[in-house]
Structure formats: C-alpha cells, structure tokens
A and B are shown apart, each in its own frame.
Chain A
Amino acid sequence: AIQMTQSPSSLSASVGDRVTITCRASQGIRNELGWYQQKPGKAPKLLIYAASTLQSGVPSRFSGSGSGTDFTLTISSLQPEDFATYYCLQDYNYPRTFGQGTKLEIK
C-alpha cells in the first residue's frame, strides 16, 4: 500500500497567518490526491480533490498544489474556523490511504 506522510503532525498558528501542510507519497501518484478537514466530533469535509481543484463552497483561502510524490495544502490567511485536523488521501490505487493527519491549533 502507498504510504502517505504528512508534516508537521501538529502546528500552532495565529489568526491571519499563512500556513502550509505537506503530504508526501511513498511512490508517485500523479495528481490523485485530496485534502479533508475534520473538526472534533464531526465528519470530515472535502476541501480539495485532484491535488488542486477546490471543492464547491470551500473558501478560496484554501489551495492545493503538487504532483508525483509531494503535495501541499496552503491556507492563505487563517480564520478561527480553520483550526481543525487536516488529512490527505491518495486515490491513485487501492487500497486508498490517508495521511496520519495534521492538527492545526491556535497559538
């Protein structure tokens, strides 16, 4: 199975900060990657698919980039509602695999 490694595992930041989360695949996955946001006690929410396509209704401060093995999720200006855990997910092959998550906390 393809291993997805996110960094950092946790991150403290302030409202208004620019934040970048990285996801690395153990082998090339083209652009077949999505990003999800999960808040405590809630189901995850789709942010981005195909590495850089913003899901309808998701604020434009979220962006994704990358191809091959290295991917990034960027939040251009953190808002209070963005403090959550973020996961990447590869859909290049089976079984699909998630990264371990990045917990974004308020500084």
Chain B
Amino acid sequence: GAVVSQHPSRVICKSGTSVKIECRSLDFQATTMFWYRQFPKQSLMLMATSNEGSKATYEQGVEKDKFLINHASLTLSTLTVTSAHPEDSSFYICSAGDGANPEQYFGPGTRLTVT
C-alpha cells in the first residue's frame, strides 16, 4: 500500500512551547489529509480534515487556534500544537487519501509529551 510518513515520531516539549508535526505522502498525491488524536487504549478521534490549498475543517470541540493545520502541497500537511499543555500529551496520527480512490492510509503516529 501507499506510504505516509510522520515526523517526528516522538517529541517531548515544555509547557507553553509550540510543536510542529509533519505528515507526508511519499508515493501519491494526497488531496485530502486527516489529523487524528488517540488516547491510550482508545479509538481515534478525528480532529480536522484538510484539503490541499484550502483551510482545514475542524471537528466540533477542536480549537482551530490551538491546533494549526497547514496543507500547502499535495504531499505535505503540518499540525502545530501551539502553547502546548500537559493535557495535549497524546498520540497524533495523520492519514491521507488521493480523493479518487477509497483507500485512506495512515502515518506511523507522533507521540507528544508535554512536561
């Protein structure tokens, strides 16, 4: 299947700082990318959907000013957690699709720990 990468795989940051997570589609053009958050032993919670070149659509309850999403190209989307706090600690996973096919591929995830 197609490959989606995320960077970094793990990050530890201090409370109040911002962290950027990158999601790349390596072998296809991702017209749509999705950002999820997963708490331990729980399912995935969709945070936002982004289409290349347009503003992201956020799910209810997700603060768009705190979780900044940029999808500037067909192979890259970034999620920036601004002014991170310990409650933002979580596993963040992106996924991507090309819009023409039903497959949606996931990245390996980024473990964020805010101290």
Whether A associates with B in a native complex is no
